[in-house]
């Protein structure tokens, strides 16, 4: 199963990240995880929050360039070699990882990734019995 991720176009401008995050905190939306990828001119902020639909609407109301896209969240044990092992499964199946970020909670590492082939990725998850998290599960960690 996939989860919704919000992507936000972010200019490299002092205070902008803070401004965007405070739109969310004011409305009691919890940020579960976030990452910023950047070039010299702009960046993309990727966010998973406790209420993606409401968060997206809020951001748009505040004139933020944002959209919703789907990514996979996989929970693995936070032990040596587990991360490598998981990625290897995708590589063996010929699937490219477009981008990935991870965070760790209660001895678990959560990988959030976007691949070039979502159906093939689901097949890999099923074959290796990976712990693929839903939005609700992610929210209750």
Partner 1 sequence: MTEKYWEEEIETMSRADLEKLQLERLKKTVAHASNSPFYKKLFAEKGLSADSIKTLDDLKKFPFTTKEDLRNNYPFGLAAVPMEDIVRLHSSSGTTGNPTVVLHTKNDLDAWANQVARCMYMVGVRKSDVFQNTSGYGMFTGGLGYQYGAELLGCLTVPAAAGNSKRQIKFIRDFGTTVLHTIPSYATRLAEVFQEEGLDPRKDSKLKIMCVGAEPHSEEQRKRIEELLGLKAYNCFGMSEMNGPGVAFECQEQNGLHIWEDMVIVEIINPETLEPVKDGEVGEMVLTTLRREAMPLIRYRTRDLTSFMPGECPCGRTHRRISRIKGRSDDMMIVKGVNIFPIQIERILMNFKELGMNYLITIDTVGNNDEMLVEVELGDLHTDDFTKLQSLTKEITRQLKDEILLTPKVKLVEKGSLPVSEGKAVRVKDLRKNH
Residues that bind partner 1 (CB under 8 A): 5, 7-11, 13, 16, 37, 39, 41-42, 44, 46, 60-61, 63-67, 69, 98
Q: At what angle do helices 118-128 and 82-92 cross, to 10 degrees?
A: 130
CB of 106 to partner 1, least distance (A): 28
Q: Can you spell out the DSSP letters for 74-140? A: EEEESSTTHHHHHHHHHHHTTPPEEEEEEEEETTEEEEEEEES-HHHHHHHHHHHT-EEPPHHHHHT
CB of 47 to partner 1, least distance (A): 11
CB of 109 to partner 1, least distance (A): 23
Judged by beta carbon, residue 88 or residue 99, the one nearer partner 1 is 99
CB of 51 to partner 1, least distance (A): 17
Judged by beta carbon, residue 66 or residue 74, the one nearer partner 1 is 66
Judged by beta carbon, residue 25 or residue 67, the one nearer partner 1 is 67
CB of 79 to partner 1, least distance (A): 31
Judged by beta carbon, residue 7 or residue 75, the one nearer partner 1 is 7
- The CA distance from 9 to 16, in Å, is 11
- The two tokens of residue 29 are 């939306």
Judged by beta carbon, residue 49 or residue 130, the one nearer partner 1 is 49
């Amino acid at each position: 199963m996939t989860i919704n991720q919000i992507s936000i176009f972010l200019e490299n401008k002092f205070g902008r990240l803070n401004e965007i995050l405070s739109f969310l905190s004011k409305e009691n939306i919890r940020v579960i995880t976030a990452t910023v990828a950047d070039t010299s001119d702009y960046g993309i902020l990727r966010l998973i929050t406790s209420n993606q639909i409401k968060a997206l609407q809020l951001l748009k109301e505040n004139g933020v360039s944002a959209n919703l896209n789907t990514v996979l969240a996989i929970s693995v044990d936070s032990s040596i070699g587990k991360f490598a092992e998981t990625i290897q499964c995708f590589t063996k199946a010929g699937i490219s990882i477009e981008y990935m970020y991870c965070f760790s909670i209660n001895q678990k590492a959560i990988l959030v990734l976007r691949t070039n082939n979502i159906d093939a990725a689901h097949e890999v998850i099923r074959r290796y019995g990976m712990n693929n998290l839903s939005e609700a599960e992610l929210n209750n960690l």
